[in-house]
């Protein structure tokens, strides 16, 4: 309004409120992305700054202060070996985030490649999808447990085991998109104008998979963080000498009635992180592609 | 109908074969000599040779597979390395706690999730809908053991309402058994509640937007509970499909829940087998759970006709 009356002032000032309100509008429209992203940024920051935030060595054993409740020196108490729970929790976040991110990236890349090939080459499709159906019939935690029992505990093996159980879901998603996009008129036009298959896949089909793939990768990383915690909790995950949230909870089990903080503190961090990733996923899904159904 | 059932049964065979092949190959895919891995770090060469002979690992791979598969078809899952008891017997001994727990969990989940999902769809955009959806995301994000320990802390240790851990067999009284399963079922069931409630809401919203519902409302019919129930039947197929797929989540959760609550079921058997590297037991458990999962989803496929009589199984 005032801009119309005073164009020389309006031109200068109208810019700022516009960008400000655009950012605010994004926050208002996508509260889940913002809240999820903020929590995740906090957890990531805490994990990266772990030596600063928790200067006590998470592996340092001090039997004199075993099973102590929260105090000034140990804000979340100590475990049965006198190790600092705050320290172990903050350092444990690194494992969860590393596993979550790695599994999401590797399984998306593998699933994308296999899905694109299967969607285009019928003979590959028949064989690959049979294998994927079989893999998907094995409940994913059991599949990961079996792989871990053989491979031995290490963070690399945890990432591998969880990736194997997540790849079929990504593959199925990508293949589904390829099969439906292939029938679109613009692909027919590209074929008719003589575009080579490789370029059709790269230029026209690949871009259609990006949005759903990002959403799926977010959910995959949430599932991977939970799987890592389960594997470590069951004694088939991250090696016991590395603090991870699942390990800390597993070690606190026997002392839970007298020292509940042993389990409640890492659990709270775990639940909050997974919740943040899932909120981010829901928000991205609603923004990027409302049609994707939530995966199982 | 019968031809459809037979066709569906036949179509599951390739899936089951892939599962069996994969479970068989598990032992051979890993790095190094499986016999040495099973024997552990401090095994003598004789011990390793003994395990190799016992598992038949000294023969060619295809011979091993066909012998193993041949026994599998007859229901022989092999023998535990650790206890020398047949794996089928071990699973049978541990079946009751796991079976009762999964049944109570599914009943709990369905009883909570479907009404919540229906209410959320009915009041969509309002407070009730928001509350249900926030709870659903939270439930989906809470690892089973987190909820399990919080419930033990609040309801068992603080309030003394439930036993802290352990399982009371059915034959010692149905009520005592259910009491011992209350907390495990709640912790295990919350993920299912979240999944099923979300799908119920989505499916109901879809049905409530259909023309015939709009016509009914235009004629002056209030969105009464009766109307909601009629709509629910039409929204049924995606919901039961979700229940079927959620069985995979349930099975994974069983292993963790039984560890949290010290329930001597198949999940505990699995964890003990991992720690002892008792590979025939791990293979047996995976096979049984996967077959159950495939079977449940087959049955659910066949139930579609109950919800929508237009679905016919001939042709």
Which of A263-267, B83-87, B190-194 has the largest mean confidence? B190-194
Query: Between these two residues, A61 and A39, which has the higher pLDDT value?
Result: A39
Percent of chain B with pLDDT over 70: 94
Q: How many structural domains compose chain A?
A: 1
Chain A residues near residue B290 by CB distance under 8 angstroms: 137-139, 142
**For A87-98, how does the pLDDT look when each residue is reduced to its tens digit (9 = 90+)?**
888 888 899 999
pTM: 0.86
Q: Nearest-CA distance from A107 to chain B in Å?
A: 19
Instruction: Give the residue numbers spanning the domain of A231.
Output: 2-295
Query: In this predicted structure, what is the pLDDT of residue B89?
Result: 92
Q: Which chain B residues are within 8 Å of A235, Cβ to Cβ?
A: 271, 274-275
Return the pLDDT at A60: 72
Chain B from 9 to 28: CB within 8 A of any A CB: 14-19, 21-23, 26-27
Token pair 């031109």: residue: A11
- The alpha carbon of residue A18 is apart from the nearest alpha carbon of chain B, in Å, by 29
Residues 56-115 of B with CB under 8 A from A: none
pLDDT in tens, A267-286: 999 999 999 999 898 888 88
From A89's Cα to the closest Cα of chain B, the distance in A is 14
Q: How confident is the model at residue A68 (pLDDT cuts 50, 70, 90)?
A: confident
pLDDT at B254 over 50: yes
Complex confidence, ipTM: 0.86
Nearest Cα neighbor of A136 from B244, B143, B93 is: B244
* Cβ within 8 Å of residue A230, ≥6 positions away: A141, A237, A246, B143, B144, B145, B252, B255, B256
H-state helical runs in chain A: 2-5, 7-13, 15-29, 31-48, 50-53, 85-120, 122-136, 140-151, 155-181, 185-192, 197-199, 206-233, 245-252, 261-288
Residue linked to tokens 């109570």: B104
Model pLDDT, residue B256: 92
Which is more confident, A2 or B158? Answer: B158
The confidence score (pLDDT) of residue B32 equals: 62
Please name the member of B29, B141, B252 whose beta carbon is closest to the beta carbon of A139.
Answer: B252
B139-165: pLDDT as tens digits: 888 999 899 998 988 888 888 888 878
Tens digits of residue pLDDT in B6-43: 888 888 888 888 888 888 887 776 666 667 767 776 77
Average pLDDT value for residue range B255-280: 89
B93's tokens: 């001994």
Would you call B86 helix, strand, or coil by DSSP? strand
Q: What percent of chain B has pLDDT over 90?
A: 23
At A7 the pLDDT is 42
Tell which B residues from 113 to 142 touch A, by Cβ distance under 8 Å: 137-138, 140-142
Is residue B226 predicted with pLDDT exceeding 70?
A: no
To the nearest whole angstrom, how far is the Cα of B221 from the nearest Cα of chain A? 31
Both tokens assigned to B287: 């096979």
State the CATH number of the domain containing residue A229.
1.10.3720.10
* pLDDT band at residue B208 under the 50/70/90 scheme: confident
Q: Which residues contact B267 (CB under 8 A, 6 or more apart)?
A: B98, B254, B255, B256, B257, B258, B259
- Give tens-digit pLDDT for A164-220: 999 999 999 999 999 888 888 888 898 899 888 889 888 888 988 888 899 999 999
Would you tell me which residues 151-180 of chain B have a C-beta closer than 8 angstroms to some C-beta of chain A? Answer: 152-153, 157, 164
* Among the partner residues B15, B149, B195, nearest to A263 by beta-carbon distance: B149
Q: Do A230 and B141 touch (CB under 8 A)?
A: no
CA pair distance A65, A106, nearest whole angstrom: 42
- In this prediction, residue B313 carries a pLDDT of 60
Domains in chain B (CATH in brackets) are 89-277 (1.10.3720.10)
């Amino acid at each position: 309004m005032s801009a119309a009356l005073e164009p020389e002032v309006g031109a200068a000032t109208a810019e700022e409120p516009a960008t400000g309100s655009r950012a605010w509008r994004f926050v208002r429209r996508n509260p889940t992305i913002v809240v999820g992203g903020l929590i995740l940024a906090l957890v990531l920051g805490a994990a990266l700054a772990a030596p600063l935030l928790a200067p006590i060595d998470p592996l340092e054993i001090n039997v004199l202060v075993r099973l102590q409740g929260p105090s000034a020196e140990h804000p979340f108490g100590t475990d049965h070996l006198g190790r600092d729970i705050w320290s172990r929790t903050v350092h444990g976040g690194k494992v969860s985030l590393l596993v979550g991110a790695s599994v999401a990236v590797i399984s998306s890349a593998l699933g994308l490649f296999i899905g694109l090939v299967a969607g285009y080459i019928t003979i590959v499709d028949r064989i690959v999808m049979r294998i994927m159906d079989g893999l998907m019939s094995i409940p994913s935690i059991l599949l990961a447990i079996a792989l871990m029992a053989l491979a031995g505990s290490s963070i690399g093996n945890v990432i591998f085991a969880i990736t194997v159980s997540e790849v079929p879901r990504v593959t199925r998603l990508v293949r589904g998109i390829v099969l439906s996009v292939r029938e679109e008129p613009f692909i027919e036009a590209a074929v008719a104008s003589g575009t080579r298959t490789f370029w059709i896949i790269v230029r026209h089909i690949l871009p259609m998979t990006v949005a759903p793939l990002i959403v799926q990768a977010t959910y995959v990383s949430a599932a991977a963080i939970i799987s890592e915690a389960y594997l470590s909790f069951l004694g088939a995950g991250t090696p016991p000498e590395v603090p991870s949230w699942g390990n800390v909870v597993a070690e606190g089990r026997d002392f839970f009635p007298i020292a509940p903080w042993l389990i409640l503190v890492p659990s709270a961090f775990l639940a909050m992180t997974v919740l943040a990733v899932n909120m981010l996923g829901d928000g991205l899904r609603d923004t990027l592609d409302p049609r994707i159904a939530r995966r199982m | 109908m019968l031809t459809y059932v037979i066709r569906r049964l036949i179509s599951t065979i390739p899936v089951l074969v892939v599962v069996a092949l994969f479970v068989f190959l598990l032992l051979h895919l890993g790095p190094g000599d499986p016999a040495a891995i099973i024997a552990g770090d401090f095994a003598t060469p004789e011990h390793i040779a003994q395990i190799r002979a016992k598992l038949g690992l000294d023969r060619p791979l295809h011979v091993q597979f066909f012998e193993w598969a041949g026994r599998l078809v007859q229901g022989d899952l092999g023998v535990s390395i650790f206890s020398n008891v047949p794996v089928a017997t071990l699973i049978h001994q541990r079946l009751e706690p796991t079976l009762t727990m999964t049944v109570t969990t599914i009943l709990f989940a369905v009883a909570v999730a479907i009404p919540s999902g229906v209410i959320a769809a009915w009041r969509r955009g309002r407070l009730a809908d928001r509350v249900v959806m926030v709870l659903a995301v939270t439930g989906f994000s809470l690892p089973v053991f987190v909820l399990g320990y919080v419930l033990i802390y609040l309801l068992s240790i603080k309030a003394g309402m439930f036993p802290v851990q352990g399982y009371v067999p059915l034959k010692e009284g149905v009520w005592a058994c259910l009491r011992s399963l209350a907390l495990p079922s709640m912790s295990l069931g919350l993920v299912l509640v979240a999944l099923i409630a979300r799908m119920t809401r989505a499916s109901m919203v879809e049905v409530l937007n259909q023309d015939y519902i709009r016509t009914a409302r235009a004629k002056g019919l209030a969105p009464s509970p009766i109307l909601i129930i009629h709509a629910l039947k039409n929204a049924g197929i995606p919901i039961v499909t979700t229940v079927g797929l959620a069985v995979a989540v349930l099975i994974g959760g069983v292993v963790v829940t039984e560890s949290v609550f010290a329930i001597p079921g198949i999940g505990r058997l699995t964890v003990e087998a991992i720690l002892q590297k008792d590979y025939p037991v791990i293979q047996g458990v995976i096979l049984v759970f996967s077959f159950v999962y495939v079977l449940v989803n087959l049955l659910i496929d066949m139930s579609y006709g109950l919800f929508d009589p237009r679905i016919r199984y001939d042709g």
